[in-house]
Amino acid sequence: MSIQEGTQEKIGLVFLSGAGLDSRIWSKVVDGLEYPHLMATYPRRKDSMESRKKLSLDDYVTHVKRQIDEWGPRRFVIVAHSLGGVIGLRLASEWNDRLAGYISVGAAVPKNGGSFLSVLPFPQRMLISTILRIIGTKPPEAVIRAGLCSDLSAEQTAEIINGFTPEAVRVYTDRIKVSPPAVPTLYVKLTKDKEFSPSLQNKMISNLSPQWVRSLNTGHLPMLSDPDGLRAILEEFMINAR
């Protein structure tokens, strides 16, 4: 039986974006989807960085929960990308009765008690910790180009750089005490990712222990470089998850 059967209610999809990214980054993926969808936003996006810097991971989770409560569908599948994986796992742990599935798209999956930083290899973890303390959470333009935007067009890259919104430091450092959700799970591995290497994604897959692993031959932002391919994977999950 698919996760749609046994209920007249349409199960929705909640999309959680990665660090610095606007929720509308999912627009080309949701275009044509047959399922209700929510492209969740993060708190105080239009405020100054000074007003956002003390936000905690709990503040992000609470902000997304409020949107889901006001949205409509009772049951939903979380689709989490990159840093959004930490937020998604926290949400999943608090909504066992409403969660119908969980999909990680090149997403962070820390072990129980870990943080986003904890998933990184030790040298990278120390480097990122230093960078967060000194220059904050917006990487230099060259780093964004080489990592996030490695396979995007010049126009797409410019939009990402110009629209990048620094996150609160605690979203990277706050720890979560949760286990993988007890629902159908999928990890979408991004084989050309320069931000989360394939070997690092293998570690995330091990932490999540998903029922399914699918691959896309893209960099870190498949919702821009291959929205049709990503949409097809999501639709397959919604049909076949049991």
Structure pTM? Answer: 0.92
Answer yes or no: is pLDDT of 3 > 60: no
3-class DSSP state for residue 201? helix
Task: Give 82-106 pLDDT, tens digit per residue.
Answer: 999 999 999 999 887 899 999 999 9
Residue among 94, 89, 31, 44 at smallest CA distance from 231: 31
3-class DSSP state for residue 171? helix
| pLDDT (mean) for 140-167 | 94
Task: Give 139-149 pLDDT, tens digit per residue.
Answer: 889 989 999 99
pLDDT band for position 1 (cuts 50, 70, 90): very low
Distance CA 210, CA 182 (A): 10
Give Cβ neighbours of residue 166 (< 8 Å, ≥ 6 apart).
20, 49, 52, 136, 137, 138
Identify the H or E element spanning 234.
helix 227-240
Give the angle 74-103-108 at the CA atoms, nearest 5°. 120
Task: Give 212-237 pLDDT, tens digit per residue.
Answer: 999 999 999 999 999 999 999 999 99
| Sole residue written with tokens 């799970």 | 185
Other C-beta atoms within 10 Å of 210: how many? 20
Distance CA 29, CA 16 (A): 13
Identify the H or E element spanning 144.
helix 141-146
Residue among 23, 60, 26 at smallest CA distance from 224: 26
